[in-house]
Structure 1
């Protein structure tokens, strides 16, 4: 097996090598982000911070030209993504101060930067290395826009419908700009009263956007209904079944997937494989079963071949995913051992290094 990632001791790292996964401090802070191209200076910093090793991107299956092309594509994606997140942060600040959504700016972002990011091969995988708990609200809006666009394309939607889903994903949480920061950024569990305030964000967003009178109904529904669930357990209205429009069903799946695979103030992110199992468990009562099936079947193709880190520190490649028992995976380690993972298996996946 030609592993795409390998652990190097710091003394073996050379300028030009690419960091394969975030270099985290003992308290979970990202010191260097995945995708960083090492220089003499960053190698010295890694040693000064006390790291004894790092996981390096090392794709032996392709030539230098292909490797450089992939690296260039990833760096362009990262730069466009960070620029977009910064603009969304500015937009949220504007909403908080003026109680008005800068809609033209958000539409421009959606139709230009976000559609480009959505069309990038490997976009969902790139998102897993672009996580910053301090920017969660803004990154989440960008991520849900990208995931919603990808899912819309997988569902066979045309260009206009897909553009609406990207915009709905970008706008789905604008109402959070009206939630007090002490609640939005609270590091612990919310009280029932605080949760009641937080759950008003979808209605806040809907009311602000409705005033503009220029957005498609699908976009507004995606913002208003993305926390509704088919069994009536959602909010803000406890809608059931056919009362929840398709756009909201797409945003709901995207929202859950991104939220669970992101670090939060109060918990660390889960691996995509754990989230896939959670989506499967909820697709028969809370989420749209047909949409979930298409989403999960496409993720199967996405994640077979993924490099993961096991609980014993070894790197391995996912070679099979069992879609009847969703918690079962088969991986092959760098030394050739094939291991079947499951709920009661001794080995666990602790990190997804490439998606």
Structure 2
């Protein structure tokens, strides 16, 4: 980026908690801090520690995931998906689910478009309005689930299964009173208890269909289970939930949070990914979260949630300093481990490339000012 496009900002102007709508760069044009993420003490402290007097500010150049690129995808694919969801809803309302032929054909069409245009597939997420929210949300979750399943290395059978799971995951809401599903505000405790039944209702509608795989059925039933056991309907915990339900769960939350609702404005992609990342190891499978956040961040031009110079806590309990970032694997930078899992400082910091060490991952950034000042003396 040319510096004449940037505005020079004195580092003394930056304050902890400040939220900028644009990006911060160094004098070489390298990204230092993403847009819409509150500045933390560690970032500002390290700028001053390294003798940086000025940074450069630029308004964000948003990459939108809410517009079809003309000629890249057929509008017919989305229309076909709407027709498929409509058929499913109609059958359930007026009898029972008898055929998923249209839904499976729709998923197959999406799959081929994803294979032909892998870097642009998520541009199909065009429907972000409240009108017919359940229809559009189901399609978006299907698209996201296919994308993530593919990125996790599963073959085409599983990828298409997860597309179908996304289509069906909220089907049980048909059995929930419309005044609860369509309520323009937060649910009461009583209403929430009723809403919590929808995964079981969804499962009951498909459980006897031999043409639907058990992977799909479990993903539909378990998509509101949480990694720490706090979810529903069965309070499952950890690996028992399974990767496929975890995939749908993460995609469900991502699409919900990035969609405007009558009582709640949509979060930015950056804020949504940061929320999901913070809930890793609490609500969501950390392994699946890592791949999802990395891929969506890369597509949206978000450099890193863990800037160089940050101090972090690892899943191992160790404390580390971020030395260098990896542009492809934004959640797996190079680090120096400064404290062991018991919290004791190491005589000699240990250099680790998280990209090559899958057993370790970052859980959170350290923001305590006293701790940051202490850690800065260890390297």
Q: Residue in 1 aligned with 2:195?
A: 198
Find the partner of 2:248 among 234, 248, 251: 251
The answer to whether 1:123 aligns with 2:86 is no
Find the partner of 1:132 among 115, 129, 132: 129
After TM superposition, the structure 1 = structure 2 runs for residues 123-272 of structure 1, keeping only pairs within 5 Å, are 123-127=121-125, 129-272=126-269
C-alpha spacing 1:142/1:70, structure 2 compared with 1 (3 Å): closer
**Higher mean displacement: 216-225 or 266-275:** 266-275
Q: Residue in 1 aligned with 2:105?
A: 108
Q: CA deviation at 1:171?
A: 1.1
C-alpha spacing 1:70/1:267, structure 2 compared with 1 (3 Å): closer
Q: CA deviation at 1:104?
A: 2.8
Q: Residue in 2 aligned with 1:298?
A: 295
SS of equivalent to 1:321: coil
The answer to whether the 8 Å contact 1:199/1:235 transfers is yes
Q: Residue in 1 aligned with 2:357?
A: none
Where in structure 2 are there 5+ consecutive unaligned residues? 3-60, 311-379
Q: TM-score, normalised by structure 2?
A: 0.60
CA RMSD of aligned residues (A): 2.8
The answer to whether the 8 Å contact 2:243/2:288 transfers is no
1:3-52 C-alpha deviation (Å, 9 max, x unpaired) = xxxxxxxxxxxxxxxxxxxxxxxxxxxxxxxxxxxxxxxxxxxxxxxxxx
Q: Report runs of 4+ in structure 1 exceeding 6 Å deviation.
A: none
CA distance in 1, matches of 2:99, 2:131: 23
Q: CA deviation at 1:266?
A: 2.1
The answer to whether the 8 Å contact 1:117/1:146 transfers is no
The answer to whether the 8 Å contact 1:164/1:216 transfers is yes
CA distance in 1, matches of 2:113, 2:86: 18
After TM superposition, the structure 1 = structure 2 runs for residues 77-92 of structure 1, keeping only pairs within 5 Å, are 78-92=75-89
Q: CA deviation at 1:247?
A: 0.9
CA distance in 2, matches of 1:225, 1:165: 13
The answer to whether the 8 Å contact 1:99/1:178 transfers is no
The answer to whether the 8 Å contact 1:144/1:255 transfers is yes
Larger radius of gyration: 2
Q: Which has the higher helix share?
A: 1
The number of residue pairs the alignment matches comes to: 247
